[in-house]
């Protein structure tokens, strides 16, 4: 019973069996009781409707033959057996004795007619059942009064065997139909459970393949819950495949980016160990080592920032910020680089403060990345323009350069980690970090480029 298929089949079988047992053990007895009570009510109605002639014979000079004739007439009209009892009171209390019977027998066929005794004692119509040698019978007794006391009791009785036979027939039919239903339910539930378990097994196998690093979509053959689960599983596989591919690409690229400066440093160290180097060459090598160390420091810092952003563990300090003030401060930092690049940076800001709520330091980091990107990927003498404005509930910062532009086939990839076009130096992480930072601050970083102009635009909510 460790199999889902067997357990589902057993559950379906138990449900059907419980339903059939309920019908057999509860509904059938209730039906029998209902039919018996209906029979007793019918006898009571007959006793009430056909006892008038018997009532008129009490205390009159009608002979026994006349009384017997009246009893038979009442039996013919009611369709029941009618027995007439006299009532006497002696030392043993109220007693009944037979006077006439519609079956032409003075004896009562072994029946005690407890309803007659109860009606004689209480003076109220009474209904009862009793068992006889020929089977159970139902009785309805009606007291007949003379001068204010019960003088006689008329009992209308009928066999209850028909009720029992009807209920027994129903029980047999329920048992037969239930047996057939159980067999069919067992087979059907087993087949359904087998189909369900096969689909679940397919999901299990696919999960094992994912655990082994193989991403194979499974067929979606229905729109039920398992079909929706299969569709969600395929979506998960697709995302995991993308993440796995990105992870492998990230590791390969990071390893390459780190290996280059490390090997370069190792080569310079070996050269410095030589004794024939003059001081000028030695200083040149030390400068190269310093540049490679700066490159490593920048790369490791950017890798750490990107990993924190992707893991969602980077904490932001949101505070009211004047974007124009930050822009003036950051652009001033690039004065030496602009001179070296023989470029001119133009800053255009609105006169009123440009208010937003963000992390001031991270906003400055995005600006540095965008301006540094403009300097790194454009020829010397390129003009750069930085603008900031506020409109429609957002603040916008745009960094535009008049360089060669970005090719159309390259444009969708500029925000990918480690992607760097052309021969520009850099880790290729700056724009990826800038976009992640913008999204962390509920903003958006986009790019537009045509030949002769490239514009990066940062939008943040106010």
pLDDT at residue 336 in the model: 85
Q: Give the burial string for 348-367 (b: 16+ CB within 10 Å, else e).
A: ebeeeebebebbbebbbbbb
CATH superfamily label, 4-165: PAS domain (3.30.450.20)
- Interatomic CA distance for residues 397 and 356, integer angstroms: 12
**pLDDT value, residue 155:** 93
- pLDDT at position 456, please? 94
Q: Which residues of the chain have pLDDT under 50?
A: 106-107, 423-424
Predicted pLDDT of residue 311: 59
Domain 225-311 coded CATH 3.40.190.10? no
Running DSSP on this structure, what letter comes out for residue 343? -
Given this model, what pLDDT does residue 432 score?
84
Per DSSP, the three-state class of 29 is helix
Q: With the C-alpha atoms ordered 406, 408, 409, 415, is the resulting torsion angle positive or negative?
A: positive
Domain coordinates in residue numbering, the chain: 4-165, 225-311, 318-461
Number of alpha carbons in the 13 Å side-chain half-sphere of residue 153: 31
Return the pLDDT at 346.
92
DSSP 3-state assignment of 106?
Answer: coil
Can you give 352-390 as a three-state secondary structure string? CCCEEEEEHHHHHHHHHHHHHHHHHCCCCCCEEEEEEEE
pLDDT at 384: 93
Predicted pLDDT at 392: 81
**Rounded Cα distance, 441 and 388, in Å:** 17
332 three-class SS: helix
- Tokens 């540049």, residue located: 291
Q: 318-461 sits in which CATH class?
A: alpha beta
């Amino acid at each position: 019973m460790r199999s889902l298929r067997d357990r589902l089949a057993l559950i379906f079988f138990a449900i059907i069996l419980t339903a059939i047992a309920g019908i057999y053990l509860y509904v059938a007895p209730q039906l029998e009781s209902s039919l018996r009570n209906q029979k007793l009510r019918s006898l009571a109605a007959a006793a009430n409707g056909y006892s008038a002639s018997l009532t008129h014979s009490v205390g009159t000079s009608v002979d026994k033959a006349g009384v017997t004739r009246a009893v038979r007439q009442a039996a013919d009209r009611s369709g029941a057996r009618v027995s007439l009892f006299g009532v006497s009171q002696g030392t043993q209390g109220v007693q009944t004795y037979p006077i006439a019977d519609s079956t032409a027998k003075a004896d009562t066929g072994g029946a005690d007619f407890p309803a007659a005794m109860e009606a004689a004692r209480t003076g109220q119509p009474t209904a009862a059942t009793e068992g006889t040698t020929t089977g159970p019978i139902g009785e309805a007794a009606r007291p007949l009064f003379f001068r204010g006391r019960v003088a006689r009791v008329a009992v209308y009785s009928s066999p209850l065997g028909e009720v029992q036979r009807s209920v027994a027939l129903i029980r047999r039919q329920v048992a037969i139909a239930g047996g057939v239903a159980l067999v069919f339910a067992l087979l059907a539930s087993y087949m359904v459970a087998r189909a369900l378990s096969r689909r679940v097994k397919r999901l299990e196998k696919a999960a094992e393949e994912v655990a082994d690093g193989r991403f194979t979509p499974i067929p979606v053959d229905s729109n039920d819950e398992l079909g929706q689960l299969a569709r969600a599983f395929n979506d998960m596989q697709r995302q995991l495949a993308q993440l796995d591919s990105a992870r492998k690409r990230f590791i390969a690229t990071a390893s390459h980016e780190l290996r280059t400066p490390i090997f370069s440093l190792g080569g310079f160290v070996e050269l410095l160990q030589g004794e024939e180097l003059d001081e000028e060459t030695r200083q040149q090598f030390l400068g190269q080592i310093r540049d490679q160390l700066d490159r490593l420091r920048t790369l490791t810092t950017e890798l750490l920032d990107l990993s924190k952003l992707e893991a969602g563990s980077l904490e932001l300090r949101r505070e009211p910020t004047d974007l124009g003030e930050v822009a003036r401060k950051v652009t001033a930092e690039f004065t030496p680089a602009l001179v070296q690049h023989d470029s001119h940076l133009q800053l255009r800001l609105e006169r009123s403060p440009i208010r937003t709520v963000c992390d001031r330091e991270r906003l400055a980091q995005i600006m540095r990345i965008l301006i540094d990107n403009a300097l790194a990927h454009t020829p010397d003498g390129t003009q750069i323009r930085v603008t900031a404005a506020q409109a429609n509930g957002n603040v916008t910062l745009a960094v535009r350069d008049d360089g060669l532009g970005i090719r159309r086939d390259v444009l969708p990839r500029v925000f990918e980690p480690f992607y760097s076009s052309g021969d520009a130096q850099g880790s290729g992480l700056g724009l990826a970090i800038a976009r992640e930072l913008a999204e962390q601050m509920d903003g958006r970083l986009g790019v537009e480029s045509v030949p002769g102009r490239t514009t990066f635009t940062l939008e943040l909510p106010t």
